[in-house]
Amino acid sequence: MDLLQRLRIFLRVADSGGFARAADQLGIAASSVTLQVQKLEQDLGTQLFQRTTRSVHLTPDGEQLYERALRLVSDAEETQSLFRQSERQIRGRLRVEAPARMVRRLLAPNLPDLLDAHPGLELELNSSDRLSDLVEAGIDCVIRVGAYVDPSMIARPLTQLRQVTCASPALIERFGMPATPAALAAFPAIHYGGLPSARREYWELQADGGLLEVPMQGRVSVNNTEGYVACALAGLGAIQAPLYDLRDELASGRLVEILPAMPPPSMPVQLLYPPQRRLSQRLRIFISWVEPLLQAQSI
């Protein structure tokens, strides 16, 4: 095995924090990972990792090598891409994480176009509404809906999604169709991410060029978008969500838009990736595919 491949293994162990995790992400045996790191240490004449029963940490020499290895591996990959005749020849695996409902309703149905255009590309598509530790999990990028700030990640804005406020016909029949924000406040709300404690949650509506805050309260909270929509369909409360995610339910009448002249503000969509991953050719290809796909949903 050449030096460049050993450096790739070294970086994966350092990023994931363990030999077993690195082996799982690379799809090779843990013993092979251990052996290649040992050979790298022998070649360099220094210990790169401080190993304990529970964790693996870089030694001072390992930290020094880490920055150099990042540049070497990245430069090698860029050099290889320079002489490929077309993007169809791009090979390798890309690990992506996105909200479960976005994967089911938008990404998965359109993936054949991406994979047909790039036969050498492999994709691990993880569905989650919670932000994983990208470095430890070996994830190359994550798509997140909402104003999410993480100074340790590079954020690329993708689009702004139009939102709607809606509820089931049964809930509207029970409380009446609200004609004002004050009437909306009388509706129960489905909360996202936990029940508010000691105060109401405030929803935002756009009106007269500004934002109105509407105090909402409810008895049900969820931690993912599938549960959020399911609770609304069950008549447990009103929700605010991106329009693209609810088109089928609105078209069928299973959900009804509330106060359409006063919609919620648009919700940003971002793609986040760790600085040490840089913007690889595989990631560029994925972004060039997913960005227009999401932008088409912003209308």
Domains of the chain: 3-82 (1.10.10.10), 87-159+269-295 (3.40.190.10), 163-265 (3.40.190.10)
Considering only 25-34, 79-88, 200-209, 276-285, which range has the smallest mean pLDDT? Answer: 79-88
How many angstroms separate the first and last alpha carbons of the chain?
51
Mean pLDDT along residues 23-30: 86
Cα distances from 17 to residues 14, 54, 90, 270, in angstroms, run 5, 10, 28, 26
- At residue 82, the pLDDT reads 57
Q: Where are the alpha helices (DSSP H) in the chain?
A: 3-16, 19-26, 30-44, 60-82, 100-102, 108-117, 134-137, 169-175, 181-184, 225-233, 247-252, 281-295
Torsion of CA 276, 277, 278, 280, to 10 degrees: 160
Per-residue pLDDT, 287: 93
Q: Which residue from 67, 52, 80, 75 is spatially nearest to 10, judged by alpha carbons?
A: 67
Among 14-18, 86-90, 185-189, whose mean pLDDT is lowest? 86-90
Query: Which tens digits make up the pLDDT trace of 83-137?
Result: 554 555 677 788 899 988 899 889 999 999 999 999 888 898 888 766 556 656 6
Instruction: Give mean pLDDT, residues 150-176.
Output: 92
Amino acid at 200: R
Q: How does pLDDT run across 250-290, given as a tens digit for each residue?
A: 999 999 999 999 999 999 999 988 876 566 788 889 999 99
Structure tokens belonging to residue 196:
């508010």
3-state secondary structure of 237: coil
Q: pTM to 2 decimals?
A: 0.68
> CA 124, CA 148: separation in Å to the nearest integer?
23
The backbone torsions φ and ψ at residue 176, rounded to the nearest 5 degrees and listed phi first, read: 90, 150
- Angle among Cα 186, 191, 193 to the nearest 5 degrees reads 160
The pLDDT value given to residue 80: 64
